[in-house]
Chains A and B, each alone.
Chain A
Amino acid sequence: MMQKIETLFVDLSDWFIAWLQSLGVPLAWADGILLLIQFLCIVGIILVNITILIWLERKVSGFIQQRPGPNRLGPFGVFQTIADALKLLTKEDIIPSKTDRWIFLTAPILFMTISVMLYIVLPMGKDMQVVDLNVGLFFFISLGSLTTIALLMGGWGSNNKWSLLGAMRSVAQMISYEIPLALSLMGVVMIAGSLRLSDIVAAQDNLWFVILQPIAFLTYLISATAELNRGPFDMPEAEQELTAGAYTEYTGMRYALFFLAEYTNLVAVSALASTIFLGGWQGPWLPSWLWIIIKTYLVMFIFMWAKWTFPRIRMDHLMAFSWKVLIPVTLVNIVATGFGLYIFKGIGG
């Protein structure tokens, strides 16, 4: 029984391919169709996840502030997000007349697309990965940095001073924090000896990398917060300063797309953190796909907890922190890891 649940999704896809082949479809085609279905599943997972996540964020913020949070629609208010999404869907899509029209219109779509693409390489359980790229981590980091362009498009296309300021901030911030983010993952890559995410998970059979690389885990969390534009690093939005930054002119579903994409990124980054540092889908008793969900949500709780505790950092401090603290620390960490590996191999070999 346990085995059945564990391999539930893998069995399903195997059965599906077998069924297609029995209908006379060639294997290559069947694989293609499966890929398409997998992609649709990812979108589904994302949407479900986000509804839960936005609800959760409100609950966490409420609980921290001694409020019950949303509690009107459905049990514990779980349908609140759905109601909000419906509301945003039915709202008028206002496009200000002075905007750079096409840039303005495509920015949210691009943002969302990039965010969804991140999920392709994430292992969501044992043998559950859409594409197991041999440069999976590299793919993830490089795609992640593309979201800057979408934000810049939104800020530029809006033709609004607040939006522009927000977009400029976001570019400066993302470029600065891209480096410590990548560097903090390097230590793990050095130990695992691979950029393939499934290899990295497999390398944590005995020991999670969070124990071997605690500093890298911390720097990853910090730079990921900055990459996600979340508090205390939410410069590009900075509600109290820039009203809504790059999103100021967006309304209705276009605004919702930005909003959703941010949460999509949050899930992706948290899932990556649990894959790389917390042993991925590995864990006792429960099926692997449940483990990754539990770990991801735990990491996300840390993100939320920090957001609702800290004030926003100042722009110049933010840059200084990246260049003067995070990057040196991550570099030292890499050197230390190299030494450690050398000594370890020297003893072992």
Chain B
Amino acid sequence: MYGTGLLKGMAITLKYFFSKKITVQYPEEMPQLQERFRGRLYIEFEKCIACGICTKTCPNDVLSLEDARDENTKKKKLISYTIDHQYCMFCNLCVENCPGNCLHFNHDFEMSKYNREDIKEVYHRPPEMDQVASSAGTSDSGEASEPAPGLTEEALKKQKKIEALMTALDKNPVKVLSRYVENEEDAQILAGIIQADRSKAEKIVELMADDQDKARKVAVAFVNKEKKQRQSQGEGGEKHEHE
């Protein structure tokens, strides 16, 4: 009969009138991003060997780098690295082709800026990366690569210590961590936290190299927080914290 189609449509819309709303309330509620989501491109400056493959693979000339010969090792080193996000197509070609695996996309998608110039992101060589203080050869990069003498020695020592601790932590986390917390169980919890969040691991390792007491305090704080969280999760059902 004429009109049944209309009524059927109205029944469908009425059904949805009372159904759950599916809009993601964006600024308050972050969208569920998939693991491979390509947000902002970033570079791990320390790992880059300045080979320039990324700049050659990029279809849109987003990437550019400035390199120089190291006086001592005769190797190329990276002085600065520029990512001009406004031309990026998020095609992933640079990430796939990077031999040192130092280009990545993170999950940050809020990239809008008020000025066109602000979109460009320039990485400068951090001063502590220059292991031996050298006055020559780096003059073109200005303030970024002229570290104060003396500090470099100390920074280098610390760097090495951190690196050693990090490898130890990766190999046997519970053993290393049990020195900083009360018992083995807590050490295990802490190991879990550190494995889940790399930034926390780095923080703790840095403190270990610097100030043992402070590291202990922070470690205990981490464990207590995690314990509390587990408790509340036990009450409120399984909830995955989304990052």
A and B touch in the complex (CB under 8 A): yes
Q: Which A residues are closer than 8 A to B by beta carbons?
A: 60, 62-68, 71, 305-306, 308-310
Stretch touching chain A among B12-20, B128-136, B214-222 = B12-20
Smallest Cβ distance from B17 to chain A, in angstroms?
5
Give the distance in Å from the alpha carbon of A257 to the alpha carbon of B47 in the complex: 64
User: What mask results when residues 17 to 39 of chain B are scored 1 for a CB within 8 Å of chain A, else 0?
Assistant: 11111110100000000000000
Smallest Cβ distance from B15 to chain A, in angstroms?
9
| Contact (Cβ within 8 A) B19 A66 | yes
Give the distance in Å from the alpha carbon of A56 to the alpha carbon of B162 in the complex: 61
| Contact (Cβ within 8 A) B10 A305 | yes
- 23 contacting pairs across A/B (C-beta < 8 A): A60-B17, A63-B21, A64-B14, A64-B16, A64-B17, A66-B16, A66-B20, A66-B21, A66-B23, A67-B22, A67-B23, A68-B21, A68-B23, A71-B25, A305-B10, A305-B13, A305-B17, A306-B10, A308-B13, A309-B9, A309-B10, A310-B6, A310-B9
Closest residue of B by beta carbon distance from A64: B13
Top 9 closest pairs, chain A to chain B, by CB: A309-B13, A64-B13, A68-B21, A63-B17, A67-B23, A309-B9, A66-B22, A309-B10, A64-B17
Give the distance in Å from the alpha carbon of A305 to the alpha carbon of B12 in the complex: 11
Smallest Cβ distance from B39 to chain A, in angstroms?
25
Q: Which B residues are closer than 8 A to A by beta carbons?
A: 6, 9-10, 12-14, 16-23, 25
Which of A65, A68, A71, A306 meets B16, CB within 8 Å? A65
Give the distance in Å from the alpha carbon of A122 to the alpha carbon of B12 in the complex: 34
Give the distance in Å from the alpha carbon of A65 to the alpha carbon of B16 in the complex: 7
Give the distance in Å from the alpha carbon of A310 to the alpha carbon of B12 in the complex: 11
Smallest Cβ distance from A148 to chain B, in angstroms?
27
Give the distance in Å from the alpha carbon of A309 to the alpha carbon of B9 in the complex: 6
Q: In the complex, what residues of B have CB within 8 A of residue A62's CB? A: 21
Give the distance in Å from the alpha carbon of A309 to the alpha carbon of B20 in the complex: 18
Q: In the complex, what residues of A have CB within 8 A of residue B13's CB? A: 64, 305, 308-309
Smallest Cβ distance from A218 to chain B, in angstroms?
10
Looking at A63, A305, A308, the one whose CB has the most chain B CB atoms below 10 A away is: A63
Give the distance in Å from the alpha carbon of A310 to the alpha carbon of B18 in the complex: 18
Q: In the complex, what residues of A have CB within 8 A of residue B9's CB? A: 309-310
Give the distance in Å from the alpha carbon of A71 to the alpha carbon of B12 in the complex: 24
Looking at A64, A65, A67, the one whose CB has the most chain B CB atoms below 10 A away is: A64
Give the distance in Å from the alpha carbon of A68 to the alpha carbon of B21 in the complex: 6
Give the distance in Å from the alpha carbon of A249 to the alpha carbon of B18 in the complex: 38
Smallest Cβ distance from B21 to chain A, in angstroms?
5
| Contact (Cβ within 8 A) B21 A67 | yes
Q: In the complex, what residues of B have CB within 8 A of residue A71's CB? A: 25
Closest residue of B by beta carbon distance from A65: B16
| Contact (Cβ within 8 A) B23 A305 | no
Smallest Cβ distance from B111 to chain A, in angstroms?
23
Give the distance in Å from the alpha carbon of A306 to the alpha carbon of B6 in the complex: 9
Give the distance in Å from the alpha carbon of A79 to the alpha carbon of B20 in the complex: 23
Q: In the complex, what residues of B have CB within 8 A of residue A306's CB? A: 10
Give the distance in Å from the alpha carbon of A214 to the alpha carbon of B16 in the complex: 27
Q: In the complex, what residues of A have CB within 8 A of residue B20's CB? A: 66
